[in-house]
Chain A
Amino acid sequence: MSEKELKTPLVDELEEGPWPSFVKEIKSLDNPKAKDLLGVLERSYRDKVGHWKHGGLVGVMGYGGGVIGRYNDLPDEFPEVAAFHTLRVNHPAGWFYTSDVLRKLCDVWEEHGSGLTNMHGSTGDIIFLGCSTEELEPTFKKLTELGFDLGGSGSCLRTPSCCNGMARCEWACYDTMALTYDLTMEYQDELHRPPFPYKFKFKMAGCANDCVASIARADMSIIGTWKDEIRIDADAVKEYAEAGDLDILVDVVSRCPTKCMSWDGQELLIDDADCVKCMHCINAMPKALAPGKDRGATILVGSKAPIIGGALLSSVMVPFLKMEPPYEDLKELVDALWELWGEHGKNRERIGEFIQRIGLGNFLDQIGLDPTPEMIAQPRANPYIFYELDDEDEYEDDED
Chain B
Amino acid sequence: MSTNLKKRVTDIGPPHYEQFLPPIIKENYGKWKYHYFMRAGVMVHVGESGDQLYTVRAASPRLCSVHTIRFFADLADEFCDGYLRFTSRNNVEFLLSDESKVEPLIERLAKEGFPVGGFGNSISNPVHTQGWIHCHSAASDASGVVKALMDDLFEYFAEPKLPAKLRLAFACCLNMCGAVHCSDIAILGVHRRIPEINNETIRAQCEIPTTVASCPTGAIRPTTVNGTKSVEVIEEQCMFCANCYTVCPSMTLNDPEMDGLSIWVGGKVSNARTEPKFSKLAIPYIPNNPPRWPEVVEAVRNIVEVYAAGAQKFERLGEWIERIGWPKFFELTGIEFTKYHIDDFSHAGETFKRSLHFRQ
Contacts and interface: CB of A to CB of B under 8 A. Distances in A.
A5 to B, nearest CB: 20
B194 interface: no
B76 to A, nearest CB: 5
A47 B55 CA distance: 43
Contact of A286 (B34, B154, B347): B34
Contacts, number: 412
Nearest to A305: B176
B62 interface: yes
Contact of A92 (B16, B95, B345): B16
Nearest to B249: A53
Interface string A365-398: 0000000001111101100000000000000000
A253 B65 CA distance: 47
B309 interface: no
B256 A49 contact: yes
Contact of A48 (B70, B86, B256): B256
Contacts of A155: none
A20 interface: yes
Nearest to A192: B11
Given A45-B290, A53-B245, A96 B83 contact: yes
B177 to A, nearest CB: 5
B86 A95 contact: yes
Contacts of B30: 166, 172, 175
A305 B36 contact: no
A54 to B, nearest CB: 4
B32 A169 contact: yes
A2 interface: no
A213 B21 CA distance: 23
A21 interface: yes
A92 B314 contact: no
Interface in A42-67: 44-45, 47-55, 61-63
Given A10-B290, A61-B8, A319 B13 contact: no
B293 to A, nearest CB: 11
A120 interface: yes
Nearest to A100: B82
A92 B14 contact: yes
B68 interface: yes
B274 interface: yes
Given A20-B61, A92-B16, A122-B127, A188 B70 contact: no
A129 B63 contact: yes
Contact of B154 (A19, A52, A117, A124): A19
A188 B114 CA distance: 36
30 contacts: A11-B144, A22-B133, A22-B143, A28-B67, A37-B133, A50-B137, A70-B136, A96-B83, A98-B20, A100-B73, A101-B15, A102-B73, A117-B69, A120-B90, A122-B129, A129-B134, A141-B9, A168-B32, A192-B11, A216-B267, A276-B357, A280-B272, A284-B314, A286-B36, A310-B346, A311-B278, A314-B354, A320-B360, A352-B349, A374-B358
A93 interface: yes
Contacts of B115: 18-20
B358 to A, nearest CB: 5
Interface stretch (B98-106, B145-153, B228-236, B324-332): B145-153
A48 B259 contact: yes
Given A19-B61, A175-B30, A378-B351, A44 B132 contact: yes
Contact of B90 (A118, A166, A312): A118
A124 B33 CA distance: 27
A20 B14 contact: no
Contacts of B36: 286-287
Given A144-B10, A170-B33, A216-B179, A97 B271 contact: no
A251 B313 contact: yes
B34 A170 contact: yes
B295 interface: no
A216 B276 contact: yes
In terms of DSSP, what is the predominant structure of the interface of chain B? loop
Nearest to B35: A286
Contacts of A166: 29-30, 32
B82 A98 contact: yes
B271 A95 contact: no
Contact of A210 (B61, B141, B271): B271
B269 A215 contact: yes
Contact of A21 (B61, B74, B314, B356): B61
Contacts of B143: 22
Contacts of B180: 305
Closest 7 CB pairs of A and B: A17-B151, A217-B179, A122-B178, A315-B352, A99-B73, A208-B271, A48-B256
Interface in A13-32: 13-14, 16-26, 28-29
B273 interface: yes
Nearest to A374: B358
Contacts of A188: 11, 13
A151 to B, nearest CB: 8
Contacts of A26: 63, 65
Contacts of A40: 132
B321 interface: no
B359 interface: yes
A116 B154 CA distance: 25
Nearest to A352: B349
B356 A168 contact: no
Contact of B88 (A21, A49, A161, A304): A161
A210 B355 CA distance: 11
Interface in B280-300: 288, 290-292
